Amino acid sequence: MTRIVVVGNGMAGARFVQELRARDSGQRFRVTVLGAEPDAAYNRVLLSSVLAGSLSPEQAETVPSAWYAAEDVELRTGVEVARIDRRRRRVLTTAGEHVDYDHLVLATGSRAWVPPLPGLVGDDGELDPDVAVFRTMRDCRDILARIAGVRRAVVLGGGLLGLEAARGLAGRGVDVEVVHAADRLMERQLDLDAGRVLARTLRALGVRVRVGAQALAYEDGPDGRVLRLDDGDGTLDVPADLLVVACGVRPNAALARAAGVGVDRAVVVDDRLATSDPRIHAIGECAQHAGQVYGLVAPAWEQATVLADVIAGGPARYGGSRIVTRLKAADVDLAAMGDTNVDDLDDELEVLRFADPVRGTYQKVIIRGDRVTGAIMLGGPETVGTVTQLFDRASPVPPDRRTLIFPGVRDAGAGGAGGTAEPAELPDEHTVCRCNGVSCGQIRAAAADGAGTVADVATTTRATTGCGGCRGDVAAVLAAATQSTPTVEVPA
């Protein structure tokens, strides 16, 4: 029996084990999962919902511990791996135990990066008691344990994680401000105008935003802790009983590096997700493929599926992922994809843009050679599915470009469907849940088999279990298939 050891029980590791067991009806593989965290596998994308109180930690679980026992998978939580012994093909845990492998899968994810600012870390190397990071379920619980005594919180970092943390805190009634060094929020995904509209939207939801401000130190002030900033006009102190650091992440590649496995920014893998040691593989945020390190759930799950097929003897190969970033925060609907900071004067580009800052809407679609090469869809849920689909598949755009932004426009050149086809009109191959690759046809098949709710569809197909942004679309397709009224279940 082939021994498979998976280091990491996060979203990539858990999905790999599920996919491998689905291809292992003959029980050819003895699978052991070593998870450093004590929790069952959970969806990190939903941590902001847990922080806001709209979900419990249990509702964020993706693979219950009972599943492992039912599938004869040995799961060890709270177990850290200290070293890889490539010669003997085994790993050594921090408890001094050896676990042998024939194939080792590194799904160690990434860790929060804490900048070297005075006051963030104590002399013992631990975070200051009033400083937190937002990366794991434990981080989430630590923040929640402090909220009762917090008058004002500051989130340092205006990227994806920082905004999700800020919105979650605001959902708990905390006075919160985001401080970001760049000239706009989410500068890797958004242009300047989109960043301004997003900041305005967040302010309306109770999250103050300060951009273009460089943090200098976290220290004691006359009335409590303050974050000292340089905003370009001088220094100022922002009160902060709690400082949440969301300044980015770093891949957890130390195990591989110490073992002599090829590492660049992350663990380097080929199209088979194999490292420089063919017995060792890497997936998810700790993996680097073709120079790219992905920090999103959809690529991690794509890699997990490919690797399961490879180890099971299949022909699958990983060719990279097309990135769509979605902000998972209550009352903010944002998707960004491809190259969005482009020169409008480039004759080879078509740039469609519509902005309504008062209503929190900013939509920008970049087209090159009749293909969508980038887009920002803020506050436009009616057309985001169509634009994402065109980007994902590199499909031709409709002759009437207006359908990509305005939901009321019909494109006669596209058979009357335009960019806003009704759920019943969408073809079976149309992807509804991008994170899990679930199509309209699969949802309709689930409905034909008796699925009557979005939760039923999720159980059957995994749709909505990634970022959750497709929940409304899944409900609409299901309603059309069952000829019922669309209902989107809101978790208690």
Residues 50-58: what's their mean pLDDT?
91
pLDDT at 304 over 70: yes
pLDDT at 492 over 50: no
User: Is 253 in a helix, a strand, or coil?
Assistant: coil
pLDDT in tens, 230-287: 998 999 999 999 999 999 999 999 999 999 999 999 999 999 999 999 999 999 999 9
Count Cβ atoms within 10 A of the Cβ of residue 416 and give its class: 0-12 exposed, 13-18 middle, 19 or more buried.
exposed
Model pLDDT, residue 413: 42
One-letter identity of residue 420: T
pLDDT in tens, 109-153: 999 999 999 999 998 999 999 999 999 999 999 999 999 889 999
One-letter identity of residue 300: A
pLDDT in tens, 55-111: 899 989 989 889 999 999 999 999 999 999 999 999 999 999 999 999 999 999 999
pLDDT at 412 over 60: no
Model pLDDT, residue 424: 67
One-letter identity of residue 288: Q
The token pair at 206 is 């109770």
| pLDDT classification of 487: cutoffs 50, 70, 90 | low
Model pLDDT, residue 92: 98
- E-strand ranges in 187-279 read 207-211, 214-221, 224-230, 235-239, 242-245, 249-251, 267-269
| pLDDT classification of 18: cutoffs 50, 70, 90 | very high
pLDDT at 408 over 70: no
Question: How far is the C-alpha of 82 from the C-alpha of 102, rounded, in Å?
Answer: 18
Closest to 106 in 3D by CA, of 322, 258, 314: 258
pLDDT at 486 over 70: no
CATH 3.50.50.60 for the 2-110+250-311 domain, yes or no: yes
Model pLDDT, residue 419: 45
Fold: same for 2-110+250-311 and 131-247: yes
Return the CATH number of the domain spanning residue range 331-421.
Answer: 3.30.390.30
Q: What's the chain's average pLDDT?
A: 91
Give me the residue spans of the domains in the chain. Answer: 2-110+250-311, 131-247, 331-421, 422-492
Kindly list the distances between the CA atom of residue 118 and the CA atoms of 109, 123, 217, 218, 388, in Å, as whole numbers in the listed order: 27, 11, 5, 6, 42
pLDDT at 294 over 50: yes
Q: For residues 384, 301, 45 and 489, what is the CA-based torsion angle, rounded to 10 degrees?
A: 70
What residues are paired with 288 via a beta bridge?
268
DSSP annotation of 397 reads P
Return the CATH number of the domain spanning residue range 131-247.
Answer: 3.50.50.60
Kindly list the distances between the CA atom of residue 236 and the CA atoms of 216, 226, 239, 327, 423, in Å, as whole numbers in the listed order: 10, 9, 10, 30, 52
Chain centre distance of CA 349: 29
pLDDT at 425 over 90: no
Domain 422-492 -> CATH class:
mainly alpha
**pTM metric for this prediction:** 0.88
Mean pLDDT is lowest, of 41-50, 303-312, 405-414, for 405-414
